[in-house]
């Protein structure tokens, strides 16, 4: 190995903004970084099963373009040379978007990049591949029968969470510093929690979903996962803006979060979400750790009717998801993953009265929660009820009660994405235990509040995302 490539490898194992700074300053070339990332993927992906496609050719072409722009004196972008990968439901021009399915593998290659991919490319980031997920995003575990389970870097016999499992374990395992996922009921926050990294589910309608395979149009969000709050904010900022391809995109003005991180938690009113979100075991310990660090250990606010909110999200999800795939369910149900098929089939038969009542309840619940945000700016809740379960595990024990593992993983995330609140999942590493996440929940359109708290907790060492085996936080 030459000295220059050794430097590239060292920088490539760092965070997104560190890589961008090195590339922008000419301390490393984007091509060196891309080559190092591709080598890391080749070495470590077989054990983690993160990637379903590696886009080496595109990565090197994008990296060469970044280096050329810099050489010509142009700004190579805020994410210059940052390797990233996307859940395989995001369109990548020239690659078939499989969305974790066998059925969609028969589709032609995507004609154009998804909006989020295009925005990251414009910011100078370098796409290295597409990532494993639950079929059609309907799951919290990424135990994908077609493509194999995504494995947790902290214990490879355990799940990485889902449905953005590859987006979680690729970042947590140090294969890439940044990934994109989607979150309908918790699919960014659950893998972020179980893999011990940061994840952002922005406000519903904030980031354009154009070119991302839909699951539940009423509830789908896209967002980034990373190993630091600043990297998360930088990626989020790069993806903001209107999206004519997404009818739910609110077209808000760009409100950069990264410049606000230095403000810390000053003046933010924070409370712990009580009742439904009380949690037990490690989930409660993680929230208590974060709350204590923020000085709000005794301030609790009840979120009314959260269990019903989860139920309503469950119904909307089943019915919209089932309807979306009805045609294939009629003609080729056997080609679906056995992990999702029966739920999709059941979802096609949900009575309209339940769905409409669930949507009406959604409006009611939003009003009640918005009232809470007059008293506080941010709420804290567990991201998952437990750290990563084992692959294939059927049940988990919560407070002495045995519950089905797979649906229960979303018990704390589902009521909140239901009303589109912006949430940062922050990773807590309790001594001697697997990591688990805490949701930092902000008011609609206040992503920066959650990111400020995440950055402050990170600065104080309360939340960290060390790559297992590397020994230090990256």
Residues near another protein (CB under 8 A)? 218, 247, 305, 307-308, 310-312, 314-315, 318, 326, 329-330, 333-334, 341-343, 345-351, 353-354, 356-364, 366, 407
Is 163 an annotated catalytic residue?
A: yes
Rounded CA separation 27/6 (Å): 12
Complex with another protein: residue 284 or 403, whichever CB lies closer: 403
β-bridge partners, 88: none
Rounded CA separation 62/67 (Å): 9
Complex with another protein: residue 51 or 314, whichever CB lies closer: 314
Complex with another protein: residue 84 or 204, whichever CB lies closer: 204
Q: Is the peptide bond before 378 cis (omega within 30 degrees of 0)?
A: no
Q: Per the residue annotation, which of 9, 87, 167, 179 is the catalytic one?
A: 87
Q: Residue 401 has what DSSP assignment? A: E
Complex with another protein: residue 338 or 470, whichever CB lies closer: 338
Rounded CA separation 252/242 (Å): 7
Is 87 an annotated catalytic residue?
A: yes
Q: How far is the CB of 417 from another protein (least distance, A)?
A: 13
Complex with another protein: residue 47 or 356, whichever CB lies closer: 356
Q: How far is the CB of 342 from another protein (least distance, A)?
A: 3
Rounded CA separation 289/297 (Å): 8
Exposure letters 266-298 (e unless 16+ CB within 10 A, then b): eebebbbbeebbbbebbbbbbbbbbbebbebee
Q: What angle do CA 174, 176, 181 make, to 5 degrees?
A: 115
Complex with another protein: residue 51 or 361, whichever CB lies closer: 361
Q: How far is the CB of 124 from another protein (least distance, A)?
A: 34
Q: How far is the CB of 321 from another protein (least distance, A)?
A: 11
Q: How far is the CB of 430 from another protein (least distance, A)?
A: 32
Rounded CA separation 140/308 (Å): 20
Q: Per the residue annotation, which of 187, 193, 218, 228 is the catalytic one?
A: 187
Q: How far is the CB of 428 from another protein (least distance, A)?
A: 30
Complex with another protein: residue 351 or 392, whichever CB lies closer: 351
Q: Per the residue annotation, which of 163, 164, 193, 218 is the catalytic one?
A: 163
DSSP secondary structure string, 211-280?
A: TB--S-TTT-EEEEEESSHHHHHHHHHHH-S--TT-TT---PPP--SGGGGGGTTTT--EEEEEGGG---
DSSP secondary structure string, 71-139?
A: HTT----TTTT-EEEEETTB-BTTB---TT-SSGGGSPPPSS--HHHHHHHHTT-EEEEEE--SGGG--
Exposure letters 128-164 (e unless 16+ CB within 10 A, then b): bbbbbbbbbbbbbbbbbebbebbbbbbebebbbbbbb
CA atoms within 13 A on the CB side of 334: 0
SS3 315: helix
Report, as residue numbers or ranges, the catalytic residues. Answer: 87, 163, 187
């Amino acid at each position: 190995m030459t000295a220059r490539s050794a430097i590239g490898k060292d920088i490539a194992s760092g965070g997104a903004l560190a890589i961008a700074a090195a590339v922008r300053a000419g301390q490393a070339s984007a091509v060196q970084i891309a080559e190092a990332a591709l080598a890391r993927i080749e070495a470590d992906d077989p054990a983690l099963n993160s990637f379903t496609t590696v886009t080496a050719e595109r990565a090197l072409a994008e990296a060469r373009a970044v280096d050329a722009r810099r050489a010509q004196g142009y700004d190579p972008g805020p994410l210059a040379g940052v390797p990233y990968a996307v859940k395989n439901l995001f369109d990548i021009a020239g690659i078939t978007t499989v969305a974790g399915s066998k059925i969609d593998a028969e589709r032609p290659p995507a004609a154009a990049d998804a909006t989020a991919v295009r925005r990251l490319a414009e910011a100078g980031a370098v796409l290295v591949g597409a990532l494993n997920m639950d079929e059609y995003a309907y799951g919290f575990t990424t135990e994908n029968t077609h493509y194999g389970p995504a494995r947790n870097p902290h214990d490879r016999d355990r799940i990485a969470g889902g449905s953005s499992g590859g987006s979680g374990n690729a970042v947590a395992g140090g294969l890439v510093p940044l990934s994109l996922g989607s979150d309908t009921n918790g699919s960014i926050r659950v893998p972020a929690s179980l893999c011990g990294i940061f994840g952002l589910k922005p406000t519903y309608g904030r980031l354009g979903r154009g070119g991302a395979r839909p699951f539940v149009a009423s509830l789908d969000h896209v967002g980034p996962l990373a190993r630091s709050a600043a990297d998360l904010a930088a990626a989020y900022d790069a993806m903001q803006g209107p999206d004519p391809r997404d009818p739910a995109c609110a077209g808000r003005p760009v409100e950069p979060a990264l410049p606000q991180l230095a403000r810390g938690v000053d003046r933010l009113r924070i409370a712990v979400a009580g009742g439904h979100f009380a949690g037990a075991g490690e989930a409660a310990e993680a929230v208590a750790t974060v709350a204590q660090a923020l000085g709000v250990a005794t301030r609790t606010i009840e979120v009314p009717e959260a269990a019903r909110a989860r139920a309503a999200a469950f119904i909307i999800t089943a019915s919209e998801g089932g309807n979306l795939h009805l045609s294939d369910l009629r003609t080729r149900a056997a080609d679906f993953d056995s992990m999702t098929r029966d739920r999709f089939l059941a979802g096609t038969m949900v009575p309209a009265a339940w769905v409409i009542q669930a949507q009406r309840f959604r409006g009611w619940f939003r009003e009640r929660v918005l009232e809470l945000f007059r008293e506080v700016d941010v709420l804290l809740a567990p991201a998952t009820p437990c750290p990563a379960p084992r692959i294939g595990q059927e049940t988990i024990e919560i407070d002495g009660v045995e519950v089905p593992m797979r649906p229960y993983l979303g018990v704390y995330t589902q009521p909140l994405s239901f009303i589109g609140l912006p949430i940062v999942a922050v990773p807590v590493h309790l001594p001697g235990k697997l990591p688990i996440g805490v949701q930092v929940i902000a008011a609609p359109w206040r992503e920066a509040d959650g990111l400020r708290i995440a950055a402050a907790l990170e600065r104080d060492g309360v939340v960290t995302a060390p790559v297992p085996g590397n020994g230090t936080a990256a």
